[in-house]
A and B are shown apart, each in its own frame.
Chain A
């Protein structure tokens, strides 16, 4: 997963920039072609999968969709997965934002080490992670061990490669040291520096990191299955064992649901920026 920085300020345009001429038209056409190719590459499997879900013996129908929507476990499993996702996002951000900021400010030499450590969850098999987490958290109370909280803790580790990279590039895009020193000099405590200066300037990175974690939780099957939690992905697999078209329909549903959440996150960021501008206008 590539690290994405969305905290880079957009260039200020005056509205009087010269228009691109002949070369610009070629570039514009090339952009459209590339966009269409990529859109086709990504959408064709989804369209094909959708076609499969509505294919019947005598024609097209929505019976598989009606089937999954009638399943009582849909909302229960989806609800559980969303709760786990919210918990995972909260723990991840509470841990990672101060850590990334601290590393950038006080231990920049450790960045490479932490970066290397952060990718370990990608190469360690899920079974090993599950066993490792269970062993490590053996002494914890049952309210953690016996509930989805333990799954959230596992997903925090699993999401670390993505959250670390997104936050790291976000922090790298701002002049952290100067902003922190300016805020400290003006009387801000460390908590105030974090909440009033750093977090607002990392909003895009934080939102993107939260979305990646959410997408991961909504799609993770192995750990949840091994730990006997009936999450949304586990339920999809169960449905697939009895109703193949239903399983594909649920997968498309989860994909569309994830897209919807992505747009909601983007909208949230844009609305906050917009309302701030309106307030100050």
Chain B
């Protein structure tokens, strides 16, 4: 399973990169392994948690699985870790089928959502635990543990017990413990969700830095889209046990392949529209193109998905919309407007718009405004029931 990376002249190998970080501390023989989940299926009674999942990770990349609770992302990770067995399908690492291999022989490092440090061991003993299981010599274990603790900036806390560490420190030690065994794959199961916002942001950057420096293939499970979009090389969005889309963060955000992805990733408005001709519709009195898969008869009513940044709002005393609220977010200001100019149903329609703060000046609650859509191409929204 071991592969020796081909190193170009002038290009640092994974070993060199890690050495630069920890003074040759974590000597690695590889730059990451390829991972393939092939047709994985797992159900609990009548509930299908994972429905024929196909996913491939190239060596050294960080893939984030993103989705709502119960979408199957953690199940996928646990199947890869060997903590559960699939009903069908295969798990391959570097082309070797490890589906039936128990968790303790998979050589994978995992960081859990819950604090998982062994309470009876110091930070150093925790980091060295995996090496102890692999029968490394005590001096070697201690040296490696020290180097990894240094790598995460906690070498001065080596003799502290978990209850003497903060949540962020515990998760960093857990990360060092996972990396200490030089795993083929690093698995992160929402490791930041129990932390407060500031620590979460710091640790997010730290994990990404370490992952890139070590060059380890990483699968990261999260329900936090900001985490997924900011950290991952590729983001896989899951729903109901299926992978809806996997792509680079910018593609997932700007060119979602399904209505679910479009609505799940980032904020999204559902606006009423009317088809004017094949592939064309009128939204907020703005003519737009619909995506090519949309087949609507002329005059048909529908709903389209519009990002907040694709809504333009201008102050207009004769406008049919009224500003409901605004929240300043630095360079951008989020403005919420309401009105019932399109539906004519009497029910207020609410639109969220992200405007540059300079443009939003003067848009206080109660001010009349007009709105239009700036996107050229829009996606049809999924039916309400399905979206719920």
Binding site for B on A (CB under 8 A): 9-10, 12, 174-175, 178-179, 181-189, 192, 196-197, 200-201, 203, 276-277, 280-281
CB pair A175–B116 under 8 Å, yes or no, is: yes
The answer to whether B282 has its CB under 8 Å from any CB of chain A is no
The chain B residue with its CB closest to the CB of A11 is: B163
CB < 8 Å neighbour of B104 from A10, A175, A179, A185: A185
A-B contact pairs, 13 of them (CB 8 A): A9-B163, A175-B115, A182-B116, A182-B118, A183-B118, A184-B82, A185-B106, A185-B109, A186-B104, A187-B181, A196-B129, A200-B118, A201-B119
CB pair B118–A188 under 8 Å, yes or no, is: no
Given A178-B116, A277-B161, 7 more A-B residue pairs with CB atoms under 8 Å apart are A12-B163, A179-B116, A185-B103, A185-B110, A186-B109, A187-B134, A188-B133
Task: Please measure, in the bound complex, the distance between the C-alpha atom of A184 and the C-alpha atom of B289, giving whole angstroms.
Answer: 54
Task: Indicate whether A181 sits within 8 Å of B159 (C-beta atoms), given known contacts A186-B133, A192-B133.
Answer: no
Task: Give the residues in chain A near B83, CB-CB below 8 Å.
Answer: 181, 184-185
The chain B residue with its CB closest to the CB of A187 is: B133
Q: Smallest distance from the beta carbon of B137 to chain A beta carbons, Å?
A: 16
Q: Smallest distance from the beta carbon of A82 to chain B beta carbons, Å?
A: 29
Task: Give the residues in chain A near B130, CB-CB below 8 Å.
Answer: 186-187
Task: Indicate whether A184 sits within 8 Å of B103 (C-beta atoms), given known contacts A9-B163, A200-B120, A281-B159.
Answer: yes
CB < 8 Å neighbour of A182 from B82, B112, B164: B112
Task: Please measure, in the bound complex, the distance between the C-alpha atom of A197 and the C-alpha atom of B104, giving whole angstroms.
Answer: 14
Task: Give the residues in chain B near A203, CB-CB below 8 Å.
Answer: 120
Task: Give the residues in chain A near B187, CB-CB below 8 Å.
Answer: 185
Task: Give the residues in chain B near A200, CB-CB below 8 Å.
Answer: 118, 120
Task: Please measure, in the bound complex, the distance between the C-alpha atom of A71 and the C-alpha atom of B83, giving whole angstroms.
Answer: 61
Q: Could you say which of B102, B112, B163 has the most chain A C-beta atoms within 10 Å of its C-beta?
A: B112
CB < 8 Å neighbour of A179 from B103, B118, B122: B118
Task: Give the residues in chain B near A10, CB-CB below 8 Å.
Answer: 163
Task: Give the residues in chain B near A182, CB-CB below 8 Å.
Answer: 110, 112, 116, 118, 174
The answer to whether B270 has its CB under 8 Å from any CB of chain A is no
CB < 8 Å neighbour of B118 from A187, A201, A281: A201
Task: Give the residues in chain A near B149, CB-CB below 8 Å.
Answer: none
CB pair A185–B120 under 8 Å, yes or no, is: no
Q: Smallest distance from the beta carbon of A191 to chain B beta carbons, Å?
A: 11
Q: Smallest distance from the beta carbon of A175 to chain B beta carbons, Å?
A: 6
Q: Could you say which of A9, A185, A196, A281 has the most chain B C-beta atoms within 10 Å of its C-beta?
A: A185
The answer to whether B198 has its CB under 8 Å from any CB of chain A is no
CB pair B134–A181 under 8 Å, yes or no, is: no
Q: Smallest distance from the beta carbon of B133 to chain A beta carbons, Å?
A: 4
Task: Please measure, in the bound complex, the distance between the C-alpha atom of A187 and the C-alpha atom of B108, giving whole angstroms.
Answer: 9
Residues of chain B in range 81-137 having any CB-CB distance to chain A below 8 Å: 81-83, 102-110, 112, 114-116, 118-120, 122, 124-125, 129-130, 133-134
CB < 8 Å neighbour of A186 from B115, B119, B122, B177: B177
Q: Smallest distance from the beta carbon of B246 to chain A beta carbons, Å?
A: 25
CB pair A201–B116 under 8 Å, yes or no, is: no
Task: Give the residues in chain B near A183, CB-CB below 8 Å.
Answer: 118, 129
CB pair A187–B104 under 8 Å, yes or no, is: yes
Those 3 A-B pairs whose CB atoms lie nearest each other, nearest first: A186-B130, A187-B133, A200-B120
Q: Smallest distance from the beta carbon of B95 to chain A beta carbons, Å?
A: 22
The chain B residue with its CB closest to the CB of A281 is: B159
Q: Smallest distance from the beta carbon of B158 to chain A beta carbons, Å?
A: 8
Q: Smallest distance from the beta carbon of A122 to chain B beta carbons, Å?
A: 33
Task: Give the residues in chain B near A197, CB-CB below 8 Å.
Answer: 118, 120
Task: Give the residues in chain A near B159, CB-CB below 8 Å.
Answer: 280-281
Q: Smallest distance from the beta carbon of B126 to chain A beta carbons, Å?
A: 9
Task: Give the residues in chain A near B134, CB-CB below 8 Å.
Answer: 187
Task: Please measure, in the bound complex, the distance between the C-alpha atom of A197 and the C-alpha atom of B121, giving whole angstroms.
Answer: 9
Task: Please measure, in the bound complex, the distance between the C-alpha atom of A63 and the C-alpha atom of B178, giving whole angstroms.
Answer: 68
Task: Please measure, in the bound complex, the distance between the C-alpha atom of A174 and the C-alpha atom of B120, giving whole angstroms.
Answer: 11
Task: Please measure, in the bound complex, the distance between the C-alpha atom of A175 and the C-alpha atom of B119, giving whole angstroms.
Answer: 10
Q: Smallest distance from the beta carbon of A188 to chain B beta carbons, Å?
A: 5
Task: Please measure, in the bound complex, the distance between the C-alpha atom of A203 and the C-alpha atom of B119, giving whole angstroms.
Answer: 12
Residues of chain B in range 130-161 having any CB-CB distance to chain A below 8 Å: 130, 133-134, 159, 161
Task: Give the residues in chain A near B112, CB-CB below 8 Å.
Answer: 178, 181-182
CB pair A186–B164 under 8 Å, yes or no, is: no
The chain B residue with its CB closest to the CB of A193 is: B104
Task: Please measure, in the bound complex, the distance between the C-alpha atom of A175 and the C-alpha atom of B104, giving whole angstroms.
Answer: 19
Task: Please measure, in the bound complex, the distance between the C-alpha atom of A229 and the C-alpha atom of B134, giving whole angstroms.
Answer: 49
The chain A residue with its CB closest to the CB of B109 is: A185
Task: Please measure, in the bound complex, the distance between the C-alpha atom of A127 and the C-alpha atom of B163, giving whole angstroms.
Answer: 49
Q: Smallest distance from the beta carbon of A58 to chain B beta carbons, Å?
A: 59
The chain B residue with its CB closest to the CB of A9 is: B163
CB pair B81–A185 under 8 Å, yes or no, is: yes
Task: Please measure, in the bound complex, the distance between the C-alpha atom of A203 and the C-alpha atom of B104, giving whole angstroms.
Answer: 25
CB pair B108–A185 under 8 Å, yes or no, is: yes
CB pair B164–A178 under 8 Å, yes or no, is: no
Q: Could you say which of B103, B108, B116, B120 has the most chain A C-beta atoms within 10 Å of its C-beta?
A: B120
Q: Could you say which of A10, A277, A280 has the most chain B C-beta atoms within 10 Å of its C-beta?
A: A280
Task: Please measure, in the bound complex, the distance between the C-alpha atom of A242 and the C-alpha atom of B134, giving whole angstroms.
Answer: 64
Task: Give the residues in chain B near A174, CB-CB below 8 Å.
Answer: 119
Task: Give the residues in chain B near A277, CB-CB below 8 Å.
Answer: 161
Task: Please measure, in the bound complex, the distance between the C-alpha atom of A3 and the C-alpha atom of B95, giving whole angstroms.
Answer: 51
The chain B residue with its CB closest to the CB of A181 is: B83
Task: Please measure, in the bound complex, the distance between the C-alpha atom of A196 and the C-alpha atom of B130, giving whole angstroms.
Answer: 12
Task: Please measure, in the bound complex, the distance between the C-alpha atom of A8 and the C-alpha atom of B107, giving whole angstroms.
Answer: 32
The chain A residue with its CB closest to the CB of B107 is: A187
Task: Please measure, in the bound complex, the distance between the C-alpha atom of A188 and the C-alpha atom of B119, giving whole angstroms.
Answer: 16
Task: Please measure, in the bound complex, the distance between the C-alpha atom of A281 and the C-alpha atom of B83, giving whole angstroms.
Answer: 35
Task: Please measure, in the bound complex, the distance between the C-alpha atom of A187 and the C-alpha atom of B180, giving whole angstroms.
Answer: 12
Q: Could you say which of B82, B108, B118, B161 has the most chain A C-beta atoms within 10 Å of its C-beta?
A: B118
CB pair A178–B114 under 8 Å, yes or no, is: yes
CB pair A184–B104 under 8 Å, yes or no, is: yes
Task: Please measure, in the bound complex, the distance between the C-alpha atom of A189 and the C-alpha atom of B114, giving whole angstroms.
Answer: 22
The chain A residue with its CB closest to the CB of B112 is: A178
Task: Please measure, in the bound complex, the distance between the C-alpha atom of A184 and the C-alpha atom of B115, giving whole angstroms.
Answer: 16
Task: Please measure, in the bound complex, the distance between the C-alpha atom of A276 and the C-alpha atom of B119, giving whole angstroms.
Answer: 12
The chain A residue with its CB closest to the CB of B133 is: A187
